[in-house]
Amino acid sequence: MGPAGPTGRSKPLPLETFMATLSSIGIGSGIDANAIITQLVAIERQPIDRLKTAASDLDTTLSAFGKVQSNLDALRNASRTLAEASTWQAAKASSGDATAVGVTVSSGTSPGSYAVQVNNLATAQMNAMNASVPPLTSASTIGQGTLRIDIGRWADDLSGFTPKDGSTTVDIVIGPGEDSLAQISAKINNTAGLGVRASVVNDAGGARLVLQSRSTGADNGFRVQVVDDDGVANDDAGLSRLAYDPQNGAAVSTRPQAGRNASATINGLPVESATNQFSNVIDGVSLTLGKVTTSAVDVTVSRDNDAMRASINTFVSTYNDLVKLLRDQTKYDATSKVGGPLQGDRTAIAILGQLRQAMSAGTTASSVFARLSDIGLGLQTDGTLKVTGTKLDAALGNVDELQKFFTTANDTAGSGGLGYSVRKLMDGLLGSDGSISSRQEGLRKLKTANGDRQQALEDRVSGVEKRLRAQYQALDTNMARLSSLQNYVSQQIQKW
């Protein structure tokens, strides 16, 4: 009750004071308004929940088509391989002694047999300082001056030196503080474009500087001329100890190994190479010489049927994976009463039909093989392919016709090779306007429309909830006013 009025009677509490005591909606009316509003809003949200379920189903369908797209692409790659002529020109090579004659072969190389005898291996020229008395160390200084180095070929009797075409003379100045064996070696190695490398060798005779050509072959030998700062040329002292120029009587250092070409005979034909690699003697065949032989090594080049069989098996496995995926995604399980995400989807079902038709179709591309079954690939009742090994082996015995069966490019129905036809089918399905892309685009549009509808309904539900709360708040206010008035009347009656 409020304070007494002028007549001495109590007045009802102001409504604002009473409402300030309400902590939540419904207190004024005694009704659980929050529960009622929650239930009413839940009813309003039911269409949104159904849309969310539909959106989830769309996501599942999109994911399923993503898997189908990936498998279609794998089949396209496998069929593209079968449609390429290089697949059916695969070759392999073997060597009777791979340590002496290694062999590699490129696709398209004609079969053949070769007798290869290795007479010499390619070597690089190597020069060494003579041992000194007393012995030197890597820190020993030998003198200053200029090393003049040329790359080229020495005559067999060392009577002449012919610089290599395109090479230039390189001068290396050895100055004060850089004339030890180790320092000279480092300066030679740090000279850009020099076809010679240096190292310091230590043995019982002490440290010596060794020079070696960076490349093997007779044309990659080198000449070392020295301008010695000690004033004495071509003596066994100072920087002249590195000189090697027998043409001009300056052979102070020794040449334990000459630069030499590799030499061999192939079916009796003499051949040479600056390296131990012979890559242009036999078309498509590369030989690597490893050691000198006393007799010929047999090298054989033949068709690589194993590689061809592997390409066919890859095609079969990728095709079967695709068929199994589509069957699994479109099936209905009567036991669990659950269908796959693509059950009843016309696009997925149509793809299954197109695949079966492509595998069962015949072709006139080959005069020997007309259907897949002719080469040992049988179409089974579930739509997958099964390989009959013996029949496939027999087909691989006629590679020329097998190549036609897969590779012939012809868009006339029944005239194109199987690899070409399947690849073309995959290109159509996966193209920007193909059935897969169109179906995925349609699903994405449905997903967008679903999201827009959900947002519109969310806005509507928000408005409904706001309106309900306003209505129940008004009810609380009115009920609170009536309750206050009732209390006041009851008090007055008691006083009367």
Please check whether residue 433 lies inside any domain of the structure: yes
Q: What span, in angstroms and rounded, lies between the C-alpha atoms of 112 and 23? A: 99
Q: What span, in angstroms and rounded, lies between the C-alpha atoms of 361 and 418? A: 9
Which pLDDT score, from 0 to 100, does residue 19 have? 43
Which pLDDT score, from 0 to 100, does residue 13 have? 45
Which pLDDT score, from 0 to 100, does residue 471 have? 78
Which pLDDT score, from 0 to 100, does residue 453 have? 86
Which of 30-34, 94-98, 218-222 is predicted least confidently? 30-34
- 374 and 285 co-located in one domain: no
Tell me which residue range forms the domain holding 199.
126-257
- 235 and 299 co-located in one domain: no
> What three-state secondary structure class fits 90?
coil
Please check whether residue 6 lies inside any domain of the structure: no
Residue-wise pLDDT tens digits, 129-162: 988 878 999 999 999 999 999 999 999 999 999 9
Residue-wise pLDDT tens digits, 363-396: 999 999 999 999 999 999 999 999 999 999 999 9
Domain's final residue, options 257, 292, 312: 257
- 65 and 83 co-located in one domain: yes
- 287 and 359 co-located in one domain: no
Residue-wise pLDDT tens digits, 264-300: 999 999 999 999 999 978 999 999 999 999 999 999 9
- 333 and 469 co-located in one domain: yes
Indicate the pLDDT class of residue 76, thresholds 50, 70 and 90.
Answer: very high
Q: What is the CATH number of the domain that holds 430?
A: 1.20.1330
Domain's final residue, options 229, 257, 285: 257
Which CA distances in Å does 240 have to 43, 145, 206, 224, 236? Answer: 105, 9, 18, 10, 6
- 298 and 372 co-located in one domain: no
Q: What span, in angstroms and rounded, lies between the C-alpha atoms of 331 and 359? A: 21
Domain count across the chain: 3
- 250 and 281 co-located in one domain: no
Mean pLDDT of 196-218: 95
Please check whether residue 16 lies inside any domain of the structure: no
Phi/psi at 136 (5° precision): -95, 165
Which pLDDT score, from 0 to 100, does residue 122 have? 98
Which pLDDT score, from 0 to 100, does residue 194 have? 95
> What three-state secondary structure class fits 240?
helix
Structure tokens at 345: 């989807």
Please check whether residue 10 lies inside any domain of the structure: no
Q: What is the DSSP letter of 73?
A: H
Structure tokens at 396: 């691989």
Residue-wise pLDDT tens digits, 305-362: 999 999 999 999 999 999 999 999 998 888 888 888 899 889 999 999 999 999 999 9
- 269 and 332 co-located in one domain: no
Q: What is the DSSP letter of 381?
A: T
Indicate the pLDDT class of residue 29, thresholds 50, 70 and 90.
Answer: low
Q: What span, in angstroms and rounded, lies between the C-alpha atoms of 385 and 379? A: 5
Please check whether residue 13 lies inside any domain of the structure: no
Percent of the chain with pLDDT over 90: 62
- 215 and 275 co-located in one domain: no
- 96 and 86 co-located in one domain: no
